[in-house]
Amino acid sequence: MQKVAVVTGGSNGIGYAIVKRLEAENYQVVNLDIQPSDAGHYIECDVSQVSAVKAAIEQVIAKYGRVDVLISNAGKHLSATIEDTSEAMLDELLALNVKGAFAAVQAVLPQMKQQQQGAIVLMASDQALIAKRSSFAYNLTKAALASMAKTTALDYAEYGIRCNAVCPGTIETPLYHAAIERYCQKSGRNPTEVHAEEAAEQPLGRLGQPEEVAALVSFLVSAEAAFITGSLQLIDGGYTAQ
């Protein structure tokens, strides 16, 4: 029987790498995203809208009859202090990063309970464990996802459902490149120099790659990780160990 995996935000970056990895491992992968993709079975879905997420997952269950894996990956970054964060900006980040994950987890749980098994991975960040400057709202949302992973793990362990959070550091994705571009436009810095500085900040001397995060996610949803739940799995090149 082919397992079914739902990935939110699977059209680029880490999400795209996860979709491709799970497809290679013979999962039937469904990608919920606002941007079309050639990876997985694509369903257009604004993950910041709770009703849209629930409707999309109902569609998945109606089509395939099960959900074995949920990867809640959709999210966005905001570089701003608390003073520079408007209510609208905070609402936007909470809607996608937190409420989107809430909606996806809540929607798959009844089916997973019926199956008496399931694996959920929430895409948090190293900022679930440490603070970074000018990152008030993003930091807040990623800490919330870490909490969600732990409470969900405890509440649903009796049903054979596991939930973990992956906490990437600086990963070379389109999101990363866009953030560097915005910073350089504001500061007048040279992008090549900024990229080199970012790499040098990592103890391993380089940025992480989306495929490396996908490999960790693949392990966490596999039978080999059957005794891992409620954990925060760092993949940050040693950054938070400093």
Taking only the tens place, the pLDDT of each residue in 67-109 is 999 999 999 999 999 999 999 999 999 999 999 999 999 999 9
64 tagged catalytic? no
In angstroms, the CA 5 to CA 214 distance is: 13
Give CATH superfamily name and number for 4-170+210-233: NAD(P)-binding Rossmann-like Domain (3.40.50.720)
In angstroms, the CA 57 to CA 232 distance is: 25
pTM: 0.97
Nearest alpha-carbon partner for 144 in 180, 107, 108, 90:
90
Q: How far does CA 160 lie from the centroid of its chain?
A: 22
In angstroms, the CA 146 to CA 143 distance is: 5
What pLDDT score was predicted for residue 60?
Answer: 98
b/e string for 117-135 if b means 16 or more Cβ within 10 A?
Answer: ebbbbbbbbbbbbeeeeeb
Tens digit of pLDDT for each residue in 120-133? 999 999 999 999 99
* β-bridge pairing 41-44 and 28-33: parallel
Residue 180 corresponds to which amino acid?
I
Q: Where are the domains of the chain?
A: 4-170+210-233, 172-207
Nearest alpha-carbon partner for 217 in 128, 109, 121:
121
In angstroms, the CA 231 to CA 51 distance is: 28
Tens digit of pLDDT for each residue in 137-170? 999 999 999 999 999 999 999 999 999 999 999 9
What pLDDT score was predicted for residue 211?
Answer: 98
Residue 118 is classified by DSSP as E
Selected catalytic residue, list 138, 156, 176, 239: 138
Residue 207 corresponds to which amino acid?
L
Nearest alpha-carbon partner for 137 in 91, 182, 176:
91
In angstroms, the CA 78 to CA 227 distance is: 35
Helix residue spans in 25-135 (DSSP H) = 50-64, 87-93, 100-115
In angstroms, the CA 124 to CA 235 distance is: 11
What pLDDT score was predicted for residue 26?
Answer: 98
Tens digit of pLDDT for each residue in 35-55? 999 999 999 999 999 999 999
Tens digit of pLDDT for each residue in 168-204? 999 999 989 988 998 899 899 999 999 999 999 999 9
- Looking from the CA of 69 toward its CB, the CA atoms found within 13 Å total 27
Q: Which two tokens mark 12? A: 């680029």
* β-bridge pairing 69-72 and 41-44: unpaired
